[in-house]
Chain A
Amino acid sequence: MFAYLVKRIFQAAAVMFVISIISFAIQDNLGDPLRELVGQSVSEEVRNELREEMGLNDSFFVQYTRFAKKAITGDLGTSYFFKEPALTVILKKLPATLELVLGASIIIIGLSIPLGVYTAIRPKAVLSKAIMGLSIVGISIPVFLTAILMIYFFAVEMRLLPSYGRGDVVEVFGYWKTNFATWDGFKHIIMPSIALASIMLPLFIRLIRSEMMETLQSDYVRYAWAKGIKAKRIWFLHALKNTMLPVITVGGVQIGTMVAYTILTETVFQWPGMGFMFLEAVNRVDTPLIVAYLIIVGFIFVVTNTLVDLLYGLVNPTVKLARMGA
C-alpha cells in the first residue's frame, strides 16, 4: 500500500508540474505585462529598462523558477481587471461555484441511487423502461439548452423563479456567502442546480443500474437468496454496498466534467462563480486571472482524483492488488 501511495503522489506531482509549465507558457505568451502596467505612452528606452528590471529578459527556465516559487507561496499575480491579487479574486468566487456543485450533487445522489436500484431490481417494469428512456433523452440534451429552456418556462413564462444571479446571500463565518439561508437565495440556486445535475443524473442512473444488475448475478447474492434473507436486506445492504464501489471512482473522475459544466451553467445563469469569471477573464485577456484559474482548478482536480484513487484502493482490496502490480 505504501509503495502505491508514493507512486500515486508522485504521479499527482508530475501532473501538477505539467499544468504549471503550461500555465507559465500561457502567461509568457499572452499579452504584455508591461503595457498593462504603464500603457503605451512610455518611450522605448524606459520600456527596456523596466523590462530588464522586471526580469522579462531572463531565460524561460529562470522565469519559470521564479513563477513556481511565487505560486507555491500563493502569489499568482494581480488581476488586470480587478486590480486585486488573482488568488483573492478566485477565492471570493469559489463559494458560489461550490454551492452550485453542492446543490447539483444533492440532486444527483438523492435521485440516482433510488432510481438506479429500482431499474436494476425491476428491469421489466413499465416505470423502469420509462426511466431508462428518459435517461437517454437526458444524456442527449446539452446542459446549456436545459438551462435556457428552464429559464424560458419558469422565469419568462411562469415567472416562478429568478433567471440570473445569486440573489439574496447571507454571509456565514465572515467569508462564505451562502444561498441556503434565505428563501430568495434558495430560489436562485434551484434552476442552476437542476441544470448542472441534468447531464450527470442520467449517467449515474445508468451506471448504478448496470453495476447493480451485475452484482445481483454474483454468487454471494444467490447464496443470500438461498439462505432465505429478506429481499430488502439483500438489495439495500448486500448488493448496494458492492454496487457503490465502482460508482465512487466514476464519481471522482467526473469532477473534471463537473468543472466544465459549471462554466456552461454559470454562463447561462450569470452565476457569479469561478467558471463565469474564467470566461470573462478570457474575453478581457486578463492573463494572471486565467493562469490562476488553471492552477487552482488543476490543483483541486489532481487532489480529488488522487484521494478518490487512494480511497478506492483502501476500500477494495482486489483492485489494490491489481493496481499495485501495475
Chain B
Amino acid sequence: MSTDTLSRWARFKSSNLVHDFIHNKVAMVSFLIFAAFVIATVFAPLIAPFDPYDPLQINIMNSELPPSWQDGADPQFVLGTDDQGRDLWSAILYGTRISLIIGICAVALQAFLGITIGLLAGYVGGRTDSILMRIADIQLSFSTLMVAIIVLAVTKALFGTQSFNEYALFMLVLVIGIAEWPQYARTVRATVLAEKKKEYVDAAKVLGFGPIRIMLRHILPNSVSPIFVISTVQVANAIISEASLSFLGLGMPVSQPSLGSLIASGQDYIFSGSWWITAIPGFFLVLLVLVINLLGDWLRDVLNPKLYKG
C-alpha cells in the first residue's frame, strides 16, 4: 500500500508524533490533564453547582468556609468559599475558563500578527525587512509583563476603574497579544529566507501563482512545527501574565474573577488562616501552566524544530 492511498488520519496515526506520545508517560498524563481542563471549562456552566456571576446565589454569611474535608465546613461547598461567600469550586471553573480564553485568544493574536509580519519581512526583504526586524528587536527587549503593567495601569487611571473593568478581558487579550508578536515573526522570517531560494518556490512562480498564495500555501507549511512549539509555551506564558496582571488589580475584576484575581482576593485572608482562598486556585493555575509547559517541552523534543536563536 503506497502512502497516498492512506487517509490523513492513518498517516497521522503512524507518524512519529503519535508513536512517541504513546510511549511517553509524562506527555500522556499532561495531555489528559489539559484535556480535562478544557472539557471542564467548556462545560463549566453545567458542572459548576453555583453561578459565581449571579449575586443572588452569593450569601455573605457563607464567606470563608473551609473545604469540605476540614472542620466547620458546609458540605455543599466542596472546596470551601471565598471572602464574599462564593463557592470556590464554581469560581475556579469559571476563572479557569477566563484564563484559558485570554491565553488562547492572546496567542492567536500574537501568531496572526507575527506570521503576517514575518512572511512580509522575509518575502519582501530589503528595507522593509530591516525596519520590521529592528522594531521586533526593540519590542522583544521590553518585557511583555513590564509593558502590560504600564499600559494597563495608565489605561485604568485614564478611564477609571468602572469602565476599565467592563473592557478588562478585551484589554488583556490586546496587550498580551500585541506585545509578543516578534517571537513568531523571527521564526517565520527565518523559514521564509531559507525556503524562498528553493526550486519549488521558483516552480510555483513559473506556474503563475501570486505571492500571497506562495507565501501561505508553499512556504508557511515549513514553519508549522516551530510555530506549534512556540504556541504552547506562549499560551503558558500568557496565562501567567494574565494571572499576574489580575493579581495586581490590572486585569479581571473581582465580580468576574480569573484565577489571578481569585488568588489576589485571598491574599489578605492568609493571615487569618484561610489558606484555601489563595492556595486552591493557585494549585489549579500552576497545574494548568505546568501541563502546558510539559507538553511544550515534549513537542520541542519530538519535532526538534530549528528555533531561531537571536
Query: CB-CB < 8 A to A31: which residues of B?
Result: 157
Beta-carbon contact of A145 and B149 below 8 Å: no
Beta-carbon contact of B153 and A136 below 8 Å: no
B146 within 8 A of A: yes
Beta-carbon contact of A145 and B142 below 8 Å: no
Chain B interfacial residues counted at CB < 8 A: 42
Q: Report which of B153, B156, B270, B279 forms a contact with A156, defined as CB distance below 8 A.
A: B270
Q: Report which of B145, B236, B263, B271 forms a contact with A261, defined as CB distance below 8 A.
A: B145
Q: Report which of B141, B145, B267, B294 forms a contact with A148, defined as CB distance below 8 A.
A: B267
B59 within 8 A of A: no
Chain A interfacial residues counted at CB < 8 A: 43
Interface string of A251-269 (1 = CB under 8 A from B): 0011011011101100110
B240 within 8 A of A: yes
Listed stretches B2-10, B73-81, B282-290; interface member: B282-290
Query: CB-CB < 8 A to A142: which residues of B?
Result: 240, 243-244, 247, 260, 285-286, 289
Instruction: Specify the chain B residue showing the minimal Cβ separation from A294.
Output: B150
Question: Does more than half of chain A's interface fall in helix, strand or loop, or is it mixed?
Answer: helix
Given contacts A140-B286, A260-B146, contact A149 B141 (CB under 8 A): no
CA distance A143 to B297 in the complex (A): 21
Beta-carbon contact of A156 and B273 below 8 Å: yes
Query: CB-CB < 8 A to A11: which residues of B?
Result: 134, 138
Given contacts A145-B282, A148-B263, contact A30 B146 (CB under 8 A): no
Query: CB-CB < 8 A to B289: which residues of A?
Result: 140-142
B143 within 8 A of A: yes
Beta-carbon contact of B248 and A285 below 8 Å: no
Instruction: Specify the chain B residue showing the minimal Cβ separation from A141.
Output: B286
CA distance A24 to B175 in the complex (A): 21
CA distance A30 to B244 in the complex (A): 24
A169 within 8 A of B: no
CA distance A149 to B294 in the complex (A): 23
Given contacts A259-B146, A261-B145, contact A282 B267 (CB under 8 A): no
Interface string of A125-166 (1 = CB under 8 A from B): 000000000001101111111001101100010000001000
Beta-carbon contact of B130 and A148 below 8 Å: no
CA distance A254 to B267 in the complex (A): 28
A290 within 8 A of B: yes
**Sample of 12 A–B contacts (CB below 8 Å):** A29-B158, A136-B297, A137-B290, A140-B289, A140-B293, A144-B264, A148-B263, A148-B270, A152-B279, A163-B271, A259-B146, A285-B157
- Please list the residues of chain B having a beta carbon within 8 angstroms of any beta carbon in chain A: 130, 134, 138, 140-143, 145-146, 148-150, 153-154, 156-158, 236, 240, 243-244, 247-249, 260, 263-264, 267, 270-271, 273, 275, 278-279, 282, 285-286, 289-290, 293-294, 297
What would 10 more interface pairs be, CB under 8 Å, given A148-B270, A163-B271, A260-B146? A137-B286, A142-B289, A143-B244, A144-B243, A145-B278, A148-B263, A152-B275, A264-B248, A282-B153, A285-B157
